[in-house]
Structure 1
Amino acid sequence: MDEAVSSGGATFPAGDSAAPNTWLALTGGSIGIGIPLSAGAAIACPDRPVITLQADGSAMYTIQGLWTQARENSNVTTIILANQSYEILKGELHNVGAQPGPDALSMLNLDRPQLDFVAMAKGMGVPGKRVEDVTELMRAIEDAAKEPGPFLIEAML
């Protein structure tokens, strides 16, 4: 499941060299579909592991889907790509020619307080881990794939 939005541009071509897989992407211009769509995919195909590439900003629209993953014991690894910003919305402002000032731009940052997706996941019954570099990320994905059930990885960008 791909809802990486502004941080995942390089991930799609990587799928060409991956083992056979199904690539589900966000629908139209909607944001927030990644976590619930991955729960649905795991329920529909319980014999197939699901990996979700999820932007942090759009995750905030439907974070409660992690609770569904825990409740259904869905085999989903959710990777939160945490750039700590609604970067896609900043891009859309730029695309329409807007010149937002510092106050407007500050509303699109995911800080004050900084989000802790591992803590949010734990509160909904999903174990998780925060990673700071690619080596840690690869190790966390491999570890999550060995265990059934949901797992969240917060990848700091």
Structure 2
Amino acid sequence: MIHTLLVEYRAYIQYLIIFALTAYAFARGAGPEKQAGAILSAMVVVFLVYHNLAGRSGVYDKIDLGLMAIDLVVLVLLMRLAIRANRIYPLWMLAAQLIATLMHLGRELDSQVPPIAYFLLVHAPSYIQVLAFSAGLVAHRRRTQIYGTYRSWRES
């Protein structure tokens, strides 16, 4: 029964985790953590609004232009964060977003890509992003407990 609930509501559980991590980042994190959380939370909100308005949820036999636009914007935002932040985890989040974004291009270039592969390679990297964000929050909290405050942004 629990397994069925987890499978059926996995996306909503992931959204809840993202919002909880974002709330924690705003309560205990520094600038990069707040920005990373805001980017992930905004991605979820825009994704949900898009799919409710488009009404095409679950169609992966051709490229989803709305989802591709969302992924491109998130890619640019994460790239900006990864370049400026004095942290490693934004690079992992950016790498995962790059996989998702490039899959749209791969789908457009090769129509023989199975819809399940397109679905997985567009959505699965978000789990990597959640894990990287979680690890980044834990690492930030540990560093502040051991060393106190430290700079959040790169100077060069």
Which of the five TM-score ranges fits, normalised by the shorter chain?
0.3 to 0.5
Question: Per chain length, whose mean CA-contact separation is higher, i.e. which structure has more relative contact order (CA < 8 Å, sep 6+)?
Answer: 2
Of the two, which has the highest radius of gyration?
Answer: 2
Whichever structure has more helix as a proportion of its residues is 2
Per the normalisation by structure 1, the TM-score is 0.36
Whichever structure has more strand as a proportion of its residues is 1
Per the normalisation by structure 2, the TM-score is 0.36
